[in-house]
Structure 1
Amino acid sequence: MGKKENRPVACAASGTASTCDYDSTFVSAGQDMTENGLIRTVTEEYLAGIDVDIRPAPEDVERELLQATNNAIEAYNLGPRDPSAPVGASLNDAYPDQKKGDARLRLRKHLDPYQIALIVRELHHAVGIRLDDSNSDDNFDIGVYQFDGVNEGTYDTSRLGLERLIRSYDMAISARNVDETVAILRAICPVRQKTKDPELVVVNNGVYDYTSKFLMGFDPEFVFTEKSHVDFVEGAKNPVIHNDDDGTDWDVESWMEEFSDDPAMVNLLWQVVGATLRPNVTWNKTAWLYSDSGNNGKGTLCTLMRNLLGDGAWASLPLKAFSNPFMLEPLSRVSAIITDENDTGTFVDDAAALKSIITHDPFLMDRKFKDPRSVLFNGFMVQCVNELPKLRDKSESLYRRLLVIPFEKRFEGRERKYIKDDYLKRKDVLEYVLYKLLATTDYYELDVPQTCIDMLEEFKLENDPVRQFAEEVFAEATWDLLPYKFMYDCYRHWFQRNVPSGRPVGRNAFLKSLKGLAAECGWLVQDKVRSDGRMDRPEPLILEYDVREWMNSGYTGSDPGRKCMPDLAESYRGFVRVSTAGSDDGKETDSENKED
């Protein structure tokens, strides 16, 4: 079936014809065509005649395609014209093979779901966008390319946006047919991976190549679902803003320098802001902005980051949300997590999703009343904390992902609310920050100052009583051999004194953790080590923590040295000081077996 050569000229406003007549000769030649085949052919040929760069309004497409469809149906119902019928013959004489009864196709009042699905695919460049790196058949969302508007250059994967688009081609469409249209789209759209190139940064007016420092135009071949809503302006200047009310001058460079007297810390804060703009770089860190009091600027810095990205590109998820997979649904659509409020006393029970999000690995996202799905989050996470949270996961694999940034300044006195409410929203300020972070930098890792390294070590001790115990007891011990049983007995008494409201871990969990920490403290894990020569002196830890289980039961006097010299076995399994370990000692082991 083909279009007539005398198809009316395209409308100036929409780029399509005002009527869509189809040559009945072509329809007649396809009398064995199914109804679905007829509808598909009409729709495909109509859409092929539209320039997607000057797409007509949805109501025009609906009207024209409906007319073209009904024209084709009428031609199909008439059948081929009898070539011997004279001019002026009656309809029945000219078309003797007209369809009758159930063979006749009914004229349409609405576009059907398949037609709307084809429109969305062809005119709006709809594709399936995978949620992770797998090739799973159904783990994707339908994304609709935005040719204009605030999200120009990105794909909208929201169900609401897709439903609105579908309804724009039939305002009376039923909810059932909306679902059917979406199902058809999932069947007919090509499925694509998101663009993962770490050098490409989507900004408000194009795609910036971080390596070549060059701004390119938008292109549907780039599959992005979010962008910065700030224009890249080559050579943007740092604006200085004067406040007539208090006589102050403000600029963003000077303001950033106020956060710390350490230039390395200021540089790190700039890098953190820049990391939120470059979601495809695997930073392998999450930034925790920490201060135990207010008026330190953490929240205002978060405002700058949010304004740089714009609405829809970031989500606010507190740390406790990562223990609840139902809370993570927004991460399929955003490129940054920026949270300026976390509850005091936060406890992260399950850090699996947290680690996956930091390292850009897939995690399982639960959905209410729907099947869970595997999701890969590409982006950077910033959390503000007034109290360092407690983590059940105390592994180095998690600790090395944490970048704890202390905010030590206090901005007392008159609060300058206009910085947050006005200055950090200004177009020229944001354009300068964007230009600085993209055009004048060249980094792919965060430069961590010693202050942050020290802060992380403090956090490790505070988060993990076993680690704190290990660092204290291994350093203070007099014996060169510390049996497993002695260490656990000592830990229980130490814990009662230092963490009176807490609950000590069990023996096996304690020993597993302690074995992982021993090497850091200068001790080896060994089996069957002779006590002779290693435990000959009194051990003051016995008295210090009142470890009665290891006091000399046969001595009733007051000499502390004799109290701390218990009767010992010939050998023990335990921890041996590295500086005293010899080749005749027991083998180093990672055994988890209980001590006899």
Structure 2
Amino acid sequence: MAKFPDYLENKTIFDEKDFFDGNRFKFYEFALFLYEEYHGCYIDNRPHVFTGKKYEPLNIDVVRKMTIKYIPSLREQQNKEVYQKLKTLCMNNYQEQCSARYIGLKNGIYDIVEEKLKAFSPQYYITNIIDVDFNEQAQSDLIERFIKDISNDDEEVEQLIYEMIGYGLYRDNFLQVAFFYYSPGGNGKTTLLKLLHHFYNPENTTALSFNDLNDKFKPANLQGKLVNIADDIDPNRIKDTGNFKIIVTGNYITLEFKGQDAFEFKPYVKLIFASNELPMSNDKSEGFYRRMVIIPMLRKFGKGGQKKDPMLLNKLITPHNMSALLNLALKGLKRTLENNEIIEPKITRKTKEEYQFDNNPVLQFIEDATDKDYRQLPVVEGRNTDKAYEIYQIWCANNGYHHMNKMNFSKELSKLGYKSVAYWSKVQEKTKRFYVKETTNKIYDTNGTILKTLQ
């Protein structure tokens, strides 16, 4: 917990006798004193007190620290009673976190709009402080060289990394994207994530995996965090992206800690994942892909690649280097705010397209199906829907995929421009449905003969 500064603790002349009536301790009066002294309030449906730089969640440990400063003779049961009364008093003062333009730093509150450092004050309802000083003169060749190296000398990727770091400082998910670092290993990914963990301050970070986001209790830990940094994302198939989408878009979500009542909050945490391989997902919607920024890391370090420095992380995280990284991140954030979007380099777009193809067996099936050197008859276009689905099932079995049901198969085809149309089948002597596109010029009966030629 943050240390209460002397100016805050000593600003009121305190007399312990004021809170006793003989031997009777005045619980309410002492709780009221603490409430006024430490600017008690409710933020994000939780009680908070101002600890000199930021507002910190109120809990029994915070109260113990307060009472041992003022009345060290209080018993534990009295501490608990003070805590309950102070928590109730905080409910009289509901506050929202101040504008995301204000960023809590080690030596003050930085205003990204005015580009100025302001003094700490209880008027700034901020719950996050990163342990980095603002020094506008700070520069670091080492930091810039490291980012350039892991970007494989791709200037667009460099810019993206700085913009991502700056976005992590901004307490609003206006970009509505998450970041996926992808690499086969040995290319600086782990060093980067450890650097970010240190930069943002561990108390402002979590490390939930993608699948943890759908746990009943774990996502509650995201409340009040700046970034979630998860290394080695589970390569197993992603089955549910519901909470992921809510968190990335910054919409209100209802969660709970184990054994406590559910609560609602608006997350501003930025999700950063890393893996040696990107996990496949059941969600193939544009809404899912749109929220992904995939960052390939192609530079090889160590054996067979660029020389590796085992002490690099220790060199990177010096206070001066962190101030230099902060300047680069703030410049990146400024660009993002001005453009209202984050840069998406050519290589990230290409990697996402490849991921979408790999993640959707139907796309792969269609590519095989349209290979004229491989097929004498179209597999889908102009074919009976039952026959096309039968061929798809065989293709899945031969290629190691689990096939989806026919309804979902048709839905995926509809995204690709296919629709089903009814025609009379001469072979089966009844009406059957066939897949067609705007380019379809022939309809094939169930035995493969041409049933109809379209204009």
If the TM-score is normalised by the length of the shorter chain, which range does it land in?
Answer: 0.7 to 0.9
Report the counterpart of residue 417 of structure 1 in structure 2. 310
Report the counterpart of residue 492 of structure 1 in structure 2. 393
Counterpart selection for 1:275 from 154, 162, 167: 167
Partners in 2 of 1:254 and 1:323 — Cα distance?
38
Report the counterpart of residue 350 of structure 2 in structure 1. 454
Partners in 2 of 1:439 and 1:64 — Cα distance?
54
Report the counterpart of residue 379 of structure 1 in structure 2. 269
Report the counterpart of residue 121 of structure 2 in structure 1. 219
Report the counterpart of residue 412 of structure 2 in structure 1. 513
Partners in 2 of 1:348 and 1:206 — Cα distance?
41
Counterpart selection for 1:155 from 55, 62, 80: 55
- Write the deviation string for residues 85-106 of structure 1: whole angstroms up to 9, x where unpaired: xxxxxxxxxxxxxxxxxxxxxx
Partners in 2 of 1:377 and 1:581 — Cα distance?
51
Partners in 2 of 1:356 and 1:264 — Cα distance?
28
- Write the deviation string for residues 321-359 of structure 1: whole angstroms up to 9, x where unpaired: 11213112321131111122334x333332211111111
Report the counterpart of residue 63 of structure 1 in structure 2. 16
CA gap of 1:569–1:198, structure 2 versus 1, over 3 A, is farther
For the 8 Å contact 1:279–1:335, the answer to whether it is kept is: yes
Report the counterpart of residue 23 of structure 2 in structure 1. 108
1:359 maps to a residue whose letter is T
For the 8 Å contact 1:323–1:350, the answer to whether it is kept is: yes
User: Per-residue deviation at 1:158?
Assistant: 5.2
User: Per-residue deviation at 1:367?
Assistant: 2.1
TM-score by length of 1: 0.65
User: Is residue 573 from structure 1 mapped to residue 433 from structure 2 by the alignment?
Assistant: yes
User: Per-residue deviation at 1:145?
Assistant: 0.7
Report the counterpart of residue 213 of structure 2 in structure 1. 322
User: Is residue 184 from structure 1 mapped to residue 98 from structure 2 by the alignment?
Assistant: no
For the 8 Å contact 1:307–1:424, the answer to whether it is kept is: no
Partners in 1 of 2:162 and 2:59 — Cα distance?
35
For the 8 Å contact 1:155–1:224, the answer to whether it is kept is: yes
User: Is residue 406 from structure 1 mapped to residue 296 from structure 2 by the alignment?
Assistant: yes
- Write the deviation string for residues 29-84 of structure 1: whole angstroms up to 9, x where unpaired: xxxxxxxxxxxxxxxxxxxxxxx9553399x7361423xx53xxxxxxxxxxxxxx
Q: Larger deviation: 350-359 or 159-168?
A: 159-168
Report the counterpart of residue 9 of structure 1 in structure 2. none
Partners in 2 of 1:400 and 1:375 — Cα distance?
24
Report the counterpart of residue 194 of structure 1 in structure 2. 97
Counterpart selection for 1:309 from 182, 200, 203: 200
Give the secondary-structure state (helix, strand or coil) at the position aligned to 2:162: helix
Report the counterpart of residue 448 of structure 2 in structure 1. none
User: Per-residue deviation at 1:303?
Assistant: 2.0
User: Per-residue deviation at 1:231?
Assistant: 0.9
Give the secondary-structure state (helix, strand or coil) at the position aligned to 1:222: coil
- Write the deviation string for residues 201-256 of structure 1: whole angstroms up to 9, x where unpaired: 22222222222212222221221111221111122232x5xxxxxxxxxx211221
CA gap of 1:54–1:407, structure 2 versus 1, over 3 A, is closer
Partners in 2 of 1:180 and 1:486 — Cα distance?
73
User: Per-residue deviation at 1:578?
Assistant: 1.6
For the 8 Å contact 2:162–2:328, the answer to whether it is kept is: no
Q: Which ranges of structure 1 fall in alignment gaps of 5 or more residues?
A: 1-51, 71-106, 131-139, 241-250, 532-565, 583-596
Partners in 2 of 1:395 and 1:278 — Cα distance?
27
CA gap of 1:253–1:568, structure 2 versus 1, over 3 A, is farther
User: Is residue 144 from structure 1 mapped to residue 58 from structure 2 by the alignment?
Assistant: no
CA gap of 1:518–1:231, structure 2 versus 1, over 3 A, is same
User: Is residue 263 from structure 1 mapped to residue 143 from structure 2 by the alignment?
Assistant: no
**CA RMSD between the two structures:** 2.8
Partners in 1 of 2:169 and 2:396 — Cα distance?
45
- Write the deviation string for residues 172-205 of structure 1: whole angstroms up to 9, x where unpaired: 656655454444334332011122x232222222
Give the secondary-structure state (helix, strand or coil) at the position aligned to 2:34: helix
User: Is residue 365 from structure 1 mapped to residue 255 from structure 2 by the alignment?
Assistant: yes
Partners in 1 of 2:9 and 2:73 — Cα distance?
22
For the 8 Å contact 1:405–1:452, the answer to whether it is kept is: yes
- Write the deviation string for residues 465-493 of structure 1: whole angstroms up to 9, x where unpaired: 23432444356663742332122111110
CA gap of 1:277–1:399, structure 2 versus 1, over 3 A, is same
CA gap of 1:372–1:235, structure 2 versus 1, over 3 A, is same
User: Is residue 432 from structure 1 mapped to residue 331 from structure 2 by the alignment?
Assistant: no
For the 8 Å contact 1:528–1:573, the answer to whether it is kept is: yes
Give the secondary-structure state (helix, strand or coil) at the position aligned to 2:383: strand
For the 8 Å contact 2:382–2:440, the answer to whether it is kept is: no
CA gap of 1:362–1:475, structure 2 versus 1, over 3 A, is farther
Q: Larger deviation: 352-361 or 205-214?
A: 205-214
2:323 maps to a residue whose letter is E
User: Is residue 290 from structure 1 mapped to residue 182 from structure 2 by the alignment?
Assistant: yes
Give the secondary-structure state (helix, strand or coil) at the position aligned to 2:176: coil
Which structure would you say has the larger RCO, counting Cα contacts within 8 Å and 6 or more residues apart?
2
Give the secondary-structure state (helix, strand or coil) at the position aligned to 1:579: coil
CA gap of 1:180–1:347, structure 2 versus 1, over 3 A, is farther
Report the counterpart of residue 36 of structure 2 in structure 1. 122
Partners in 1 of 2:195 and 2:387 — Cα distance?
53
CA gap of 1:369–1:198, structure 2 versus 1, over 3 A, is closer
- Write the deviation string for residues 264-284 of structure 1: whole angstroms up to 9, x where unpaired: 122212222222222325221
CA gap of 1:184–1:461, structure 2 versus 1, over 3 A, is same
For the 8 Å contact 1:335–1:379, the answer to whether it is kept is: yes
- Give matches, 1:509-548, under 5 Å: 509-515=408-414, 517-519=415-417, 524-529=418-423
For the 8 Å contact 1:110–1:170, the answer to whether it is kept is: no
CA gap of 1:221–1:419, structure 2 versus 1, over 3 A, is same
1:115 maps to a residue whose letter is E
Partners in 1 of 2:263 and 2:322 — Cα distance?
36
2:123 maps to a residue whose letter is E
Q: Larger deviation: 435-444 or 228-237?
A: 435-444
User: Per-residue deviation at 1:125?
Assistant: 0.7
1:142 maps to a residue whose letter is P
TM-score by length of 2: 0.84
- Identity, in percent, stands at 22
CA gap of 1:437–1:503, structure 2 versus 1, over 3 A, is closer
Q: Count residues in correspondence.
A: 421
Give the secondary-structure state (helix, strand or coil) at the position aligned to 2:394: helix
CA gap of 1:57–1:200, structure 2 versus 1, over 3 A, is closer
For the 8 Å contact 1:62–1:170, the answer to whether it is kept is: no
CA gap of 1:349–1:235, structure 2 versus 1, over 3 A, is same
